[in-house]
Structure 1
Amino acid sequence: MSQLAYPIVITPLAVDDGGGFAATVPDLPGCMSDGETPEEALHNVLDAIDSWIEMAQELGHPIPEPVRGRE
């Protein structure tokens, strides 16, 4: 399954939170990253998706299908 199949939400972070952008993957609980630009946040969260899936497989946990794939 391609990591690009998962919807990614990128939102600006408040200056009080350090600024930049947060990237989350709603279909993968706890899978998130950030970056100074939206592009950097996207790049970083793609690595986080790979790590999330790898860890779930190692632990024997199911990998959720992307919401987009169930429509």
Structure 2
Amino acid sequence: MKKTILPMLLLAVWAWIAYHFCVSLEQTELWKIWMVVGMPFGIHRMCIWLLPKNFDIGGTVGVWAMNIIVLS
């Protein structure tokens, strides 16, 4: 109950609030809904760095390139 139904219920309520917040002049702005609903799920992931461990030089360079691409 705590791990499945309650989070889905909170997500549904959050999406419902975001939908009513992002409707203006009876026109739905999907870009705003996408940004508002996704914000709580993405904010804490914006500061995560991938640490290359047990890779060869190509894998390490690839992981660092991914870090730079994601953060810029």
Q: Normalised by the shorter chain, which TM-score bucket?
A: 0.3 to 0.5
Larger radius of gyration: 2
Larger relative contact order (CA 8 Å, sep ≥ 6):
1
Q: Which has the higher helix share?
A: 2
TM-score normalized by the length of structure 2: 0.32
With structure 1 as the length reference, what TM-score do the two structures score? Answer: 0.32
